[in-house]
Amino acid sequence: MNNDGNEQGISGGGAVRVNGGSASIINNTFACNRSAYVGTGGRGLGGGAIFSTGQCAITNNVFYDNRANNGWSVYAVVSGSATLSYCDAYNPGQSNTQANHYYSPGSVSNMMYSDPLFVDPGHWNDPGTPSDWSDDTWVNGDYHLQSDSPRIDQGTNTNAPAEDIDGNPRPVNVTCDMGAYEYMGQ
């Protein structure tokens, strides 16, 4: 799954909202999703890419430039209910910390917080009104990994889909990459 350029202004979860139950979210690329919810009393929730009230296993994903008041990448409503492993979370020009990207997760392991080096990151065009997202327009990108991407061979093979989003066999070079696209080499 490749989620880019979504906007959610109602209750959080710019790309994915898990309402209770359980979900496995594996080998996705979430880019430039935005959750702008501000609730009663101005208290915003968040989850720029994922907002969950259930049990989530979140593995081998790349989160890039997702925005929210809390949990730029993931907001877990039930404290400790998200198991995060082998993911990269990066917002250009921001302080890329676990606390900024993941609100109230459970276990967090094998995480990275640096530029995944996409071929061409998509972006929002803003006509000079940065506080208003409603007038921005989305420009598609190319989320294949560059040859020197630090996300190549950094995922886990456990439970990873046997094909990437292009239908190519995964893994290449023994170990799965993070994100929706396995790097195919030359």
Of all residues in the shown chain, the one whose CB is closest to Ca ion is 129
Please pick, from the candidates 20, 24, 114, 126, the single residue that binds Ca ion as defined by CB under 5 A.
126
Q: Which residues contact 132 (CB under 8 A, 6 or more apart)?
A: none
Task: Using CB atoms within 10 Å of the CB of residue 179, give its burial: 0 to 12 exposed, 13 to 18 middle, 19+ buried.
Answer: buried
In the complex, what is the shortest distance from the CB of residue 40 to Ca ion, in angstroms, rounded to a whole number? 25
Q: Which is closer to Ca ion, CB of 17 or CB of 170?
A: 170
Judged by beta carbon, residue 15 or residue 160, the one nearer Ca ion is: 160
State how far the Cα of 88 lies from the Cα of 101, in Å rounded to an integer.
10
| Binding segment toward Ca ion, per CB under 5 A, in 55-63, 64-72, 106-114, 122-130 | 122-130
| Options 129, 140, 147, 158; binder of Ca ion; rule CB under 5 A | 129
Check binding of 163 to Ca ion (CB under 5 A): no
CB 102 within 8 A of CB 71: yes
Token pair 């030359």 is found at 186
Number of neighbouring beta carbons within 10 Å of residue 54: 16
Among 1, 117, 136, 184, binds Ca ion (CB under 5 A): 136
Q: Point out which residues bind Ca ion (CB under 5 A).
A: 126, 129, 132, 135-136, 153, 171-173, 177
